[in-house]
Amino acid sequence: SQTMAAMLYPRGTGGCSEPSLPVAALPGQSAELTALFECPVCFDYVLPPILQCQAGHLVCNQCRQKLSCCPTCRGPLTPSIRNLAMEKVASNLPFPCKYASAGCLLSLHHSEKPEHEEVCEFRPYTCPCPGASCKWQGSLEAVMPHLMHAHKSITTLQGEDIVFLATDINLPGAVDWVMMQSCFGHHFMLVLEKQEKYEGHQQFFAIVLLIGTRKQAENFAYRLELNGNRRRLTWEATPRSIHDGVAAAIMNSDCLVFDTSIAHLFADNGNLGINVTISMC
């Protein structure tokens, strides 16, 4: 198996089921009605609870919180007046997903729209590199070109069985180590993240992400293994899609988790080797 040091990032530098109706199949009348719910500020839909200004103009709740007067008539937005009739109409209309322009054909009841949009496969992908420094967004096809152009320092190893070498694990503060693994015609991102949970107590989180969709990720399994001094620590799981990212996995401890004392049991001169094996299910 191949071994190469992972890219080190000091922190700070660096589906659900829903009733579906294709937009094309909407009767013209429904499409005209949904147009009445367009917010004049952000052009998304005004959905229940629906509030109007004193002249009867609508604005969505997100925009309303940022405005001091009605964007249509400049009249006061307070006191809040509820428009129950429009809410009733909204409850009987299918609304297109906000990513319709990117290709999503679903239309949904307003109560299901936010949950779907959180996991919609047409939602733009964000840069999967840990840390908050890179604000890039784009299509799935553009993720790898972005990484190769903007994050050239990330090493890629070929093969389903490699060693992910994290160097200088004793560095103070929160640190990320990142590298790529290419096998089975896909690219996987390997991330080791060190966080200070509370004063003096640090934890490590290791995870594999697929540069691909959730559905594609389900076709694979990965194994992370720490070996040394007649000890072995293993974690096996399904890779997460980069749509979900690292943060959610870490929050749920859905990854290989170990503390500094365990890291030292397996480290060699401050360097930690993690065996990574990816297989097809």
Residues 164 and 237 in one domain: yes
In the predicted structure, residue 3 carries a pLDDT above the cut 80: no
Same domain as 152, residue 84: no
Domain containing residue 273: CATH number: 2.60.210.10
47 phi, psi to nearest 5 deg: -120, 155
10-36 pLDDT tens trace: 665 444 444 444 444 344 567 788 889
How many domains, in total, are found in the chain?
Answer: 2
Helices (runs of H) and strands (runs of E) counted in the chain: 8, 18
In a domain, 223, yes or no: yes
Q: Are residues 81 and 199 in the same domain?
A: no
As a three-state string, the secondary structure of 128-161 is: CCCCCCCCCEECHHHHHHHHHHHCCCCCEEECCE
Q: In terms of domains, do 198 and 274 share one?
A: yes
At residue 1 the predicted structure's pLDDT band, cuts being 50, 70 and 90, is low
Domain boundary, last residue among 95, 114, 130? 95
Q: Are residues 187 and 86 in the same domain?
A: no
Both 49 and 154 in one domain: the answer is no
Reported as a single tens digit per residue, the pLDDT across 27-83 is 456 778 888 999 999 988 999 999 999 999 999 998 999 998 999 999 998 888 999
Q: What is the pTM of this model?
A: 0.71
- Same-domain pairing of 84 and 159: no
pLDDT at 279 (0 to 100)? 98
Q: Whole domain around residue 167: which residue ranges? A: 148-280
Q: Are residues 275 and 152 in the same domain?
A: yes
What element of type H or E holds 85? helix 84-90
**Dihedral angle sign, alpha carbons of residues 151, 152, 157, 162:** negative
Mean pLDDT of the region 151-170: 94
Q: Indicate the burial class of 79 (C-beta count within 10 angstroms; 0-12, 13-18, 19 or more).
A: exposed
Q: What is the pLDDT of residues 94-144, one digit of tens each?
A: 999 989 988 899 999 999 998 998 888 888 999 999 876 899 999 899 999
